[in-house]
Amino acid sequence: MRKIAIVTLVAAPLLVGSLTAGSVLASGGRSADEQALAPLRGAASRSVEQRVDRLLAQMTVKEKLQQVQLLSDGQVTDADARAGVGGVFSLTDPTRIDQLQRIAMTESRLKIPILFAYDTIHGYRTIFPVPLAAASSFDPEVAKADARIGARESATVGIKQIYSPMVDVSHEPRWGRIVEGNGEDPYLGSAFAAARVKGAQGNDYGRPDRTLTSPKHFVAYGQPEGGRDYNTTDLSEQRLRNLYLPPFKAAIEAGADSIMCSFNAINGVPGCANHYTETDILKKEWGFDGFIESDYTAVTETIAHGTAADAADAGAKALMAGTDSEMVSTTLRDNGEQLLADGRISKRRLDDAVRRILRVKFRAGLFERPYVDQAKAVDPASFLTSADRAAARTAAGRSMVLLHNEDQALPLDPAKDTAVIGPLADNQHDMLGPWWGRGQDADVVSVRQGVTDGSTGTTTFAQGCTLSNEEPPDYDPADDCGSAAGFAEAVAAANAADQVVLALGETREMSGEAATRSTLDLPGRQQELIDAIAATGKPFAVVLFNGRPLTLSGVVDSAPAVLEAWFPGVEAGNAVADVLFGKVNPGGKLPVSFPQRLGQVPIYYNHEPTGRPCDVTQKYTSRYRDLRSCDPLFPFGFGLSYTTFEVSDLALDRTTVSRKGEVVASMTVTNTGDVAGDDVAQLYLHDPVASISQPVRRLRGFERVTLEPGESRTVRFTLDASDFGFYDNRGEFVVEPGEIQVFAGDDSTADLTKTFRVRR
Ligand code: BGC
């Protein structure tokens, strides 16, 4: 088992004044408060487990049922704090956090601190690019920096847990929440999951500038049928284990001590009442000793799912399945005593849930440092510092993907006059993307501003059309660039300039939770706006802001250059200008396939083969009658640069390997162009003959490299059983003897290939 009692509780000097104003050092270096509280929670010199035991032994059933309750900012009252509520989320006012914490610490019987949580998904105040964008960087350090800064800013106001990272692998671009994760690949997703956990937690989330993380949504929430949020997921054991579980495992291994169970039912069993995933896999198989919180009202929603009869039944089933903490709904708090008396929940399980929550609170240092520095919490200088902004700008630049660049249309010349056109050109609001935390529109550098600041020529602006930020039922898709009335002005602006930047895409409301779209096209008449600008004959580039793969065939046909900027965050305009004017050479790669048409969905590079692979020239193959190819428009791993690269010399250090052995694969990346740039060396495997059909490709290594013109770098990847093997449908990891194909290149169509053989 992992790290029981990793937190050796920090003794007093650091803690002076943290419990109550005026606490003093007593003998032995401990604060008077701490000494006074020792009978309740055990002395700081005791192990976390001993202290948990001591506290637990004193708790009444009512207090235990409070401890497993998690309330929202809108729900919580002083009385809840007094009664010993376990957690509060979405509260970000440091004064109110402090008030509630003081009530818990001084007026509740056992003085157990409250764990405050928040959805810091891609920043708290310093908003970074959305996670799908960060994943496009193929550089986990981007996500790590985001998580580190987000955790620091969150912790500054008293938040000690963030509901992040979102690590749901998804092959479903209609689903609005694809934006929150790392795309379609479990290997890339695992690297980013671990990076975000480490970024936020460091080596010790008890430190004042760190937070506990909570990977979500456990599990397979990324595959809702029809793309509709919260909808059913039905999947095989091998898919569960090969595709959806790995990023969670990586997050847990990186130290995540809490996790959020999902809304959706998996094979008919809701995520927060799922004994198999919560207890059998997560807690028993993986040895997870932190706690599982439910998603928002997910416990009561099991009634609507049709697996619980009423609130009491829902609470009992969730707890007994392994859910430790109930968010928003109060089924356990309301019914727990009766459920216990009736034997429908066990004392042992309730104690286990409470034990897990207390353990994490001890590890988080909350008993020693329940309060935050109020002066710092309200000081604007604590947030969005110039260093934070610089990190966000770098991250955004590294996250952009150059999709198309005919005749080197990009970079643009910063000395020329530029017309910045489009509904997202002079926009701050949407640049933050969904889950903007405490980000503020006014903090955002718009594209118009960034281009103005980044060029020496004149910058003009025309909106062309507008997009709607309404929510249904007020939202009418006809309000998304539904009128061409502004096109003439846009065309005039283009004609008067030397070059045009066309900022198009989606609003931030079109992505995120409950934001499924039934089309992947650019909303409204934006394509017509592109065509109108193309007709001017002026050089131009389309810059896209969106949270999902879009169908871009029309865009690519009419625009000389297309830059996928996603939702870049607070430094959007500066980062876009950096890339457009060539200050930053784009090196991002797609973490998700972009289909030609919606009808191809789900389309993902790591699909299994079929008995009749797609051949559009042959009937009775797995093809579309009305498409000339089954390929995506842009494959996973794809992205261009202002320079060119060659990947060569794929080599393996051996041709056979034992099941427990290692193979080192190497490849050389050369910058064959004229400017410095970044490429991502990518290594894929395929097992051509296995007991169950294996994906045609699986990413098993990647590294982003920066190369000067003419420079080469040899990149090495060590492969072992975790790469050769796979989970079968009994849930067992197997390494089967036989041939493994290796592919190397700089996208998922990589064609350099070699094979090795795994021996019996
Ligand atoms: C979302 C979670 C989020 C929670 C708390 C839910 O609706 O699914 O991702 O953490 O709300 O805000």
pLDDT tens digit sequence for 168-223: 999 999 999 999 999 999 999 999 999 999 999 999 999 999 999 999 999 999 99
335-355, pLDDT tens digit by residue? 999 999 999 999 999 999 999
Does the Cβ of 634 fall within 6 Å of ligand 1?
no
Question: What residue type is assigned to position 199 of the chain?
Answer: G
- Choice from 88, 218, 295 to test ligand 1 binding pocket (greatest atom count within 8 A of CB): 295
88, 183, 194: which is closest to 147 by C-alpha? 194
Using a 6 Å cutoff on CB, does residue 216 contact ligand 1?
yes
Q: Residue 289: which residues within 8 A CB-CB, separation 6 or more?
A: 1, 2, 4, 257, 283, 356, 359
> Who's near 576: CB < 8 A, 6+ residues apart?
396, 400, 447, 450, 451, 501, 503, 543, 563, 565, 568
For ligand 1, the distance from its centroid to the CA atom of residue 564, given in whole angstroms, is 27
689 C-alpha to ligand 1 centroid (Å):
41
Determine if ligand 1 sits within 6 Å of the CB of residue 540.
no
Instruction: Give nearest CA residue, ligand 1 atom 5.
Output: 296
Q: Which atom of ligand 1 is nearest to the CA of 216?
A: 9
Is the CB of 49 inside a 6 Å radius of any atom of ligand 1?
A: no
387 Cα: distance to centroid of ligand 1 (angstroms)? 29
Atom of ligand 1 nearest to the CA of 166: 9
Cα–Cα distances (Å) from 270 to 9, 303, 567, in that order, read 38, 10, 32
Q: Are 636 and 590 in contact (CB under 8 A)?
A: yes
End-to-end CA distance of the chain: 31
CA of 447 to the centre of ligand 1 (A): 30
Q: Report how far residue 290's alpha carbon sits from residue 275's, in angstroms, rounded to the nearest whole number.
A: 16
Low-confidence ranges of the chain (pLDDT < 50): 1-30
CA 239 from centroid of its chain's CA atoms: 20
Closest residue by Cα to atom 7, ligand 1, is 296
Please report the atom of ligand 1 found closest to the CA of residue 217: 9
Is any atom of ligand 1 closer than 6 Å to the C-beta of 417? no
139 lines ligand 1 (CB under 6 A): no
Q: What percent of the chain has pLDDT over 90?
A: 94
- Our answer on whether the CB atom of 119 is closer than 6 Å to any ligand 1 atom is yes
Minimum CA distance residue for ligand 1 atom 12? 119
Which of 163, 167, 301 to probe ligand 1 with, by most ligand atoms within 8 A of CB?
Answer: 163
Ligand 1 centroid to residue 629 C-alpha, Å: 39
Compute, in angstroms, the gap from residue 296 CA to the centroid of ligand 1: 6
Nearest to 461 by CA among 494, 436, 498: 494
Mutate which of 180, 296, 329 for ligand 1? The one with the most ligand atoms within 8 Å of its CB, which is: 296
How far, in Å, CA of 420 to CA of 501, rounded? 5
Among protein residues, the one whose CA lies closest to atom 2 of ligand 1: 295
578, with CB counted inside 10 A (0-12, 13-18, 19+), is: buried
Residue 391: predicted pLDDT: 98
336-345 long-range contacts, CB within 8 A, separation 24+: 336/61, 336/64, 336/65, 337/61, 337/62, 337/65, 338/312, 339/312, 339/315, 340/61, 344/312, 344/316, 345/315, 345/316, 345/319, 345/320
Which residue(s) pair with 703 in the sheet?
Answer: 681
The reported pLDDT for the residue numbered 1 is 33
Q: According to the model, what pLDDT value does residue 45 have?
A: 83
CA–CA separation, 215 and 199 (whole Å): 13
Q: Is 690 left (phi over 0), alpha (psi -120 to 50) or beta?
A: beta
C-beta 296 within 6 A of ligand 1: yes
Q: How far is the CA of 298 from the centre of ligand 1 (A)?
A: 10
163 lines ligand 1 (CB under 6 A): yes
Tens of pLDDT, residue by residue over 489-506, are 999 999 999 999 999 999
Atom of ligand 1 nearest to the CA of 90: 12
Three-state secondary structure call for residue 270: strand
Distances from the Cα of 463 to the Cα of 389, 417, 453, 741, angstroms: 27, 17, 19, 51
Helices (H) and strands (E) in the chain, counts: 23, 27
Separation of CA 118 and ligand 1 centre (Å) = 9
Evaluate: CB of 295 within 6 angstroms of ligand 1. Answer: yes
Q: Separation of 146 CA from ligand 1 center, angstroms?
A: 19
Bridge-based pairing of strands 677-686 and 258-261 is unpaired
CB atoms within 10 A of CB 236: 14
Q: Which atom of ligand 1 is nearest to the CA of 260?
A: 10
CA distance 633 to 554: 11
Tokens of 696: 């045609």
C-alpha 295 – ligand 1 centre gap (Å)? 6
Identify the burial level of 22 via C-beta atoms within 10 angstroms of its C-beta, where 0-12 means exposed, 13-18 middle and 19 or more buried: exposed
Nearest residue by C-alpha to atom 8 in ligand 1: 295
pLDDT at site 22: 33
DSSP string over 382-445: GSS-HHHHHHHHHHHHHH-EEEEEGGG--SPPTTS-EEEESTTTT-STGGG-S--TT--GGGPP
Distance 331 CA to ligand 1 centre (A): 18
Question: Rounded to whole angstroms, how far apart are CA atoms 396 and 400?
Answer: 7
User: What integer pLDDT is reported at residue 6 of this predicted model?
Assistant: 33
Tell me which residue has its CA closest to atom 6 in ligand 1: 296
Ligand 1 closest atom vs CA 214: 10
Strands (DSSP E) contained in 16-160 are 69-72, 87-89, 115-118
Please, which residues bridge with residue 503 across strands? 543
Token pair 């970079």 is at which residue? 411
CA of 437 to the centre of ligand 1 (A): 12
The catalytic residue positions are 295
Compute, in angstroms, the gap from residue 357 CA to the centroid of ligand 1: 19
217: left (phi over 0), alpha (psi -120 to 50) or beta: beta
- Ligand 1 lined by 513 (C-beta under 6 Å): yes
- Positive or negative, the CA dihedral 410, 415, 421, 424 is positive
Structural tokens at position 61: 């059933």
The domains found in the chain, sorted by start residue, are 4-16+643-758 (2.60.40.10), 59-374 (3.20.20.300), 386-594 (3.40.50.1700), 596-631 (no CATH)
118, 119, 166, 258, best to mutate for ligand 1 pocket (most atoms within 8 Å of CB)? 119
From the alpha carbon of 163, which atom of ligand 1 is closest?
10
CA 381 from centroid of its chain's CA atoms: 27
For ligand 1, atom 11: residue with the closest CA: 296
DSSP for 648-676, please give it: EEEEES-SEE-TT--EEEEEEEEE-SSS-
Q: What is the pLDDT of residue 727?
A: 98
87-89 sheet: strands from edge to edge: 212-213, 161-162, 115-118, 87-89, 69-72, 326-327
